[in-house]
Every structure is written in C-alpha cells, then in structure tokens.
A and B are shown apart, each in its own frame.
Chain A
Amino acid sequence: MKYCNKCDISIKSNHDYCPLCHQTLEVVKKENVVEKYPEYQSKLRPFQDITKKILMFMSVTSIIGLLITNYFTGFDQLWSLIPIGSIVYFWLLMTVGIFSKHNIASKLFVLTMTLIFFVYMIDELSFSAGWALDYVAPILLLSCNIAISFIILIKRINYRDYISYLLLIVLFSIAPIILIFTDVVTILWPALASLALAIFILLFIIFFFPKSIKDEIKKRFHA
C-alpha cells in the first residue's frame, strides 16, 4: 500500500506516483501488486501496414499517370478506364473478397455485381459488341446463384445468414428478361438459363422454406 500525502489517499499499485496529482508516493508497506488494468499494446501490425501503403501509392500514381496519358491521346476514347477499372477491382477483390470478414454470400454478391458492371464497361469502351450482357452477365449470375445455393446446402446451420443474399441474386437474375424485351440482349439462351435457375431456386425456397421467406420479408420491411 502506498500513500499520497497531498491528496490524502491510499493507492495499491507498483507505480510510484499519484495518479491524481502526479507527485511521488510514500511507501507504507512494500508489496508486489497485480495491476488492476492490463498494459498498453499497440494494435497496428506494421508489416501489413507498409505493404498496403506501397500498393496504395502505386495504384494512385498509376491512375494519375493513365489519366494524363489518356488526356494527350484525347478524351473521346476513354481507354484508360479499363486499366483504372482493373486497379479498382483489384482493391475490391482484396478488401471485400479476401480481407473482409463479412459472410461469404455477401462477398460473392458484391463481387458478382461489380464484375458485371466492370465487364459491361469494358465491352462498351472497346467495340460495343454486346458480349458482356449477352453472355458474361447471365453466366455470372447463374454461377453466383449456384455458388450461394451450394454454400447454403453445405453450411445448413447458418442458412439464415445467407438467404437474403440468395433472394437478392435471384431477383437480379430475373432482370435480364427485361433486357430481352427491350432488345438490348439478342442472344437468348444464357439469359433464359439464368432465369430458369433463378425461378427454380425461388420455387424451391417457397415450397420448402416458406417461413424463412416470410420472416425475412417481415424483418427487412418492418416500419
């Protein structure tokens, strides 16, 4: 036990100053005390930090370099958006895809949707051949649907965490049908395949897990 004669208080600690007035303490009885609170530990991991900084620096300088070069070749051809998009997608893949601790269905959903947007951009910036919406988008939606369904089948205990993403991706898979009717999409079979699978999954949930859908809607839409 130690004593501060200025504040008139006793202190149980290995430190030899008063926490209130910072003056040196009198030792009444010498003893070894277990400190009430743990010691300071820095949370930052220096290695990961420096790698991230280097990559970030390289990305930003390349983006600026690409934009300047694109300026000299003329902004009517926005070719630089393709490498810039790749850099951005790389970061998304790293942060959302690998280092984030979100559940895997949400990662798949976000990555699929951004990838569709990205390939559509490449298609439009190159020859506008329409392959992105004709083939890539429906097939990506299809594989994402299959992937999330399989995850739910394998990790059945946690199905509630994934079901909302499955419903979302199913909804998005129905979207290509609108593109067919508006004649944006001319090749039918990929869009129809993705649509068919989406409807199949939707019916499966409605028939076998009707309560999950009802609960999910109740939860998400309560006002």
Chain B
Amino acid sequence: MPKQKMNQDWFKLDNSAKIFPSVSNSSETNTFRVTVSLTEEVNPENLQKAVDIILGRYPMFKVRLKKGLFWAYFDYNSKPFIVQKMGHQICSEIIPIENNGYLFKVLYHHKDISIEMFHSLADGGGVMQLLKSLVYEYLLLEGKSVTPDNIIATKKDKPEFEEYEDANAKYYNKKNRKHIPEEKAYRIKGTYLDADQTGLISGILKTKQMLDLARKNDMTITEYLTTVMMFTIYKTQIQYREHIKANEKPIKIFVPVNLRKHFPSKTLRNFTNFIKTNMRMDKPDISFDEIKALVKEQFAKGIQKDELIRKMSENVAFEKNIFLRMTPYFLKNYVLKIGFNMLGIKLNTMSLTNIGRTVFPDSMKPYIYDVGATIYAGKFNTIGCAIVSYEDQFKITFSRSIIETQIEREFFRHLTSEGLDIEIESNYVEEYS
C-alpha cells in the first residue's frame, strides 16, 4: 500500500468555510478564478505533472468534502487530480463528483493557466500562493531556469501546520463580538443571462497611471475604485429616480480585506474579512467628492483592529453556539441556507475585491506577461469586480450575470476621462446561443 507521510490527513472546515457548502448552488457558486498568462502556449502534460507535484506540497488542497454527523470536513482524497481544458463557463459551480472529489479546477487555454477555487477551501491570497507554486513547477518542467527567491514555496519545502490553521478562531475575542444588525442593500437589476453563462469584461490599465490618479485624490487604489464604483452605480441606476422605493435602499460595496496584512498568519485557508461602504443615494445631485469623503471615512473606520476583530469574533461566536453545534449536519444545512438567504447575501450590492500586487521572482518575469482574477456573479449580486496587478499591468475584471453593460461602460469611461489608457478584453457573452 503506497503510503504518503502526512502530518494530518483530514481538516475541519475553518470558520468562513463552514457556510459555503450549505449556501452554494448552480447560480450562487462561491467560486473564484485566478489566471496567469504565460508568454508561450501551455503544455497540458507538463501542467498535469506540475499539479501532481504541487498537491504533494499542499496536502490541504488534496481533499474532498465529506459530511459528518455535526459538521462537514475535508478528508484526504486518494483519487488523481486531472487538469482540464478551459470551457466557456466562468466560475461555475464545482461539482465534486465530476471532478474526482476535488474542490478546485486547474484549467488551461492557449497561454493561460487558471485555478478555479471553491471559496470553502481557500481565499484569494491562498490561491495566489498555490498558483505561483504551480507556475514555478510548470516552468521548471518546461526546462526554464527559474529560482524561487523566497517568494515561492516549492516542492522542497515542507508543508507547515501554520498553512492550514483556522486563523479566525485564533484571534477570537469573547468580549468583542457584538452583532450589529444591517439593512438590506440596493440591488442592481437587469436581464439575466442563461444559467451557464457569465459575462466578462476586463480593463487593463497602467499601474503607474492608476496609482498616480489615486494619490492625486489622496486615497488608496481600492478606496478610489470603490468610490468610482459607487458613483457609477448612482449615475446609471439611481440618479433622478431616488423616489422609487427600490432605490431607497443604500448602495453597499463589499470590499474583502486580506487579514494576513493586519494580523500575523501564514494560513492558506480563509483569512479575510471585509469593509463595507454604505451610502443611501437620496438626492439627485450627489457629487463625486461627497462619495469620496464618505468612502474614506468608512474605510478608515472599517480597517481599525478593533472593528476587524469584532467582525471576526461575531462569525466565530456563531459557530461556537452550543445549540448550533449539536444540531445534526443535515438540519444545520437548512438553518444556514435560510439564514444566509435572509441575511447574508442581500446585505451587499456587489463585491469589489482587490487581490493586490502579484510578485514573481525576477527569473520568472520573462515568462509571465499577465495576471488576472475573476469572481462569480450570482442572481442577487449581479455584478462582481476583481482587481489584480502585476508589474505595470493593472487589471480590473467585471463579471456579470446580466446582459446590460452600463456599469462597466460608465466605470471605464470615468477612468478614461481622467486620462487613463485602457485596453478592454471580453468573452463576448452576447454571441453565445
């Protein structure tokens, strides 16, 4: 019996991971994608070999989801992982049974290598690290002379316990876990695309221009883009229609925060929280500066350590509730589903996630020309936006589950009016039939 030596071969789901298996379905897939574009065509055989190597290094991804009596858990998966050719579907539901039980996919298309990950298993930061390691091993197999330079974890490093710890529980504070009720958010409406279709539009900007523009406004890039997003939604959806009842709800942008930057942790699993901007658009003449001031204030408030710990502890406290813990899993599933549909999803207008700067070792840079990220767009949050930058390429990717492209159009037109050069990519979902 071939036996792999591993410290641990099953994992409890971490705090944020627990909700996703219960609330995910074909439209709310809770999947996201990160892509690295190489300078040459991808060789699927070597990619397959690289994935096999990488899974030995990251045992926490070589798992399947199983149900226990009280909670689901990740169990060691003995089946082989198979890389797939990219299809038209973007961030589609990951159906474990079609995927040998794995909760992520590795896809290739011409020069692109993508990982589509179910959010239960890891967050953007964790997957970026996995993708970097994968590309590194792939380039090695292709015969390129690349070095890890302490940026990339290679097959020679040993997996560490810290990489799969539940960091949320580590920073749990019993005294600071107050639940603050929220009201429902404004929802962007539109004509739905078919269930298996997602519209994609990405804009490629120059990082330097983007940074200068944000600095000129005395903001970080994320703050600035959130402001533009709120202003765009206001302009295209609400302005002069504030009196309509549906438009009275506040626009709320959900901005994930990578907690690794605020609390020391090396975990690859979910360790993100969020800042939420919140503004009721009840006037016909709201200016950009007005939104700017508010976003700045809400970001400053949301990023405070106390507030972040409160939000973390609020979630962990929910999981520690003795009644919920003792409920059998199949009942819990319903509880979580109902709770999430009533509360969770309707509290956001959309998500805007900034994965940030991707750093590769100098030796790898000649082989990589682009990095991208995409989040899923569901029935309620019809538009999603993911941002990632690599060297001088700054990529903003919109995914949508509706046909209309007003918001993308006005968003990019706002940026071009500020003097930015933009190149657009799209998957031309309009032509699907």
Contacts and interface: CB of A to CB of B under 8 A. Distances in A.
Interface of A: 4, 7-13, 15, 18-22, 34-41, 43, 100-102, 156-158, 160-161, 215, 219-223
A166 to B, nearest CB: 15
B413 A8 contact: yes
A40 B431 contact: yes
A38 B428 CA distance: 10
B433 A9 contact: no
A37 B200 contact: yes
B77 to A, nearest CB: 9
Contacts of B343: none
A217 to B, nearest CB: 10
Contact of B68 (A43, A100, A219): A219
B422 to A, nearest CB: 5
B1 A221 contact: no
A32 to B, nearest CB: 13
Interface in B156-211: 196-197, 200-201, 203
A222 B425 contact: no
B413 A7 contact: yes
Nearest to B88: A40
A10 B71 contact: no
Given A37-B200, A223-B326, A11 B423 contact: yes
The secondary-structure label for the interface of chain A is loop
Contacts of A43: 196
Interface of B: 1-2, 10, 12, 66, 68-71, 73, 75-76, 78-79, 85-88, 90, 97-98, 109-112, 196-197, 200-201, 203, 325-326, 405, 408-409, 412-413, 416-417, 421-428, 430-433
Contact of B409 (A7, A12, A37, A215): A7
Nearest to B99: A101
A43 B95 CA distance: 14
Nearest to B370: A36
Which of the listed residues B78, B90, B326, B426 has the most CB atoms from chain A within 10 Å of its own CB? B426
Contacts of A158: 78-79
Contacts of A9: 203, 412, 416, 422-424
Given A15-B428, A19-B201, A40-B433, A222 B412 contact: no
Which of the listed residues A7, A37, A100 has the most CB atoms from chain B within 10 Å of its own CB? A37
B78 A160 contact: yes
11 contacts: A10-B421, A11-B424, A12-B423, A19-B424, A20-B201, A34-B111, A37-B427, A156-B1, A160-B78, A215-B10, A222-B70
B88 A19 contact: no
The secondary-structure label for the interface of chain B is mixed
A157 B201 contact: no
Contacts of A10: 421-424
Given A7-B416, A156-B1, A222-B73, A41 B87 contact: yes
Contact of A36 (B75, B97, B427): B427
Nearest to B1: A156
A121 B71 CA distance: 34
Nearest to B326: A223
Given A13-B426, A19-B426, A20-B201, A40 B432 contact: yes
A4 B424 CA distance: 10
Which of the listed residues A12, A43, A222 has the most CB atoms from chain B within 10 Å of its own CB? A222
Contacts of B201: 19-20
Given A7-B416, A40-B432, A219 B200 contact: no
B97 A101 contact: yes
A210 B76 CA distance: 18
A215 B428 CA distance: 50
Contacts of A157: 1-2, 78
A40 B430 CA distance: 11
The 10 A-B residue pairs whose C-beta atoms are closest, nearest first, are A19-B426, A37-B427, A40-B432, A20-B409, A223-B70, A8-B416, A220-B68, A40-B88, A101-B97, A9-B422
B70 to A, nearest CB: 4
Nearest to A34: B110
B347 to A, nearest CB: 29
Contacts of A160: 75-76, 78
Given A21-B409, A157-B1, A223 B423 contact: no
A23 to B, nearest CB: 11
A219 B72 CA distance: 9
Contacts of A223: 70-71, 325-326
